[in-house]
Amino acid sequence: MNRKPEYAHAKDNTHKDEGTAQEATTTENGKPPGKKGPLGRVSRPMALKILGFLVLVAAVAILTELRIMDSRVSIEKAEIYAPIISLSPSVPGTLDKIKVNEGDVVHKNTVVAEVGGIPIRAQTNGIIVAVTNTPGQIVSAQTPVVQMIDPREFRVVGRIEEDKGLSEIRVGQKVVFTVDAFGPKEYNGVIDSISPTSRESDIVFSISDKRQEKEFDVKATFDGDLYPELRNGMSAKMLVYK
């Protein structure tokens, strides 16, 4: 009976051992042990330097944000405002005709109504905001029959409590404001005036000490021609840059 040479059996065992050794030198992710990925090759001192750099960047960002916040005064309660111009007859009479509608743009000296045969004219260029459209009604002297505004007189008027940064606001400072109706869109203006007296009818009581915290009006001008979408009475928020 022919016998298989012993050296062949030994050779087979050798191949099996080599295969086992090769498997042992392979890690779970298919890479030989001792060979590491890009992060694994970073030395500890280098990792500490990277971490320190990231911490420094974060600290600079926080300080920058705090500095920006400290350079502004925020006014949460504000509105778009223009003085109302009332057009009325100088003597009593019958309202004959109204010649304009709300929203109309008129020019100075435009006839907007007639009372007792006497024309009532616009005093300036502007926008009609209200009319008394009741022809035949008796109108007394100085009773408004048409009201209008001059867009050049538009202001954004903020109400700020006396201890919320009022002392840091000056005429001429830059203002950026937003209007609730138009979300985050920003508008630019300049501080025009600061009320010399408080709003006596709007007193806020501090919970902590019961002292009266009075509010003051802060007005800023802006170019109404650049922002034709703004309307009288719209709610707004202001940021005053120191």
SS3 2: coil
SS3 102: coil
Torsion of CA 225, 240, 192, 198, to 10 degrees: 130
Type of residue at 129: V
Could you tell me the CA-to-CA distances from 17 to 14, 25, 33 in Å, in that order? 5, 12, 19
Provide the pLDDT for residue 206. Answer: 53
All domains in the chain, ordered by first residue: 72-82+152-241 (2.40.30.170), 85-149 (2.40.50.100)
Global pTM reads 0.62
> In the chain, pLDDT over 90 holds for what percent of residues?
56
Provide the pLDDT for residue 15. Answer: 47
DSSP string, 15-53: HHHHHHHHHHT--TTSS-TT---TTTTS-HHHHHHHHHH
User: Looking at residue 93, what DSSP letter applies?
Assistant: E
User: Looking at residue 172, what DSSP letter applies?
Assistant: T
Type of residue at 87: L
- Segment 143-179, tens digit of pLDDT: 999 999 998 999 999 999 998 899 999 999 999 999 9
- Segment 86-125, tens digit of pLDDT: 999 999 999 999 999 999 999 999 999 999 999 999 999 9
Mean confidence (pLDDT) of the chain: 81
Q: Which residues of 204-228 are buried (b: 16+ CB within 10 A; e: fewer)?
A: eeeeeeeeeebbbbbbbbbebeebe
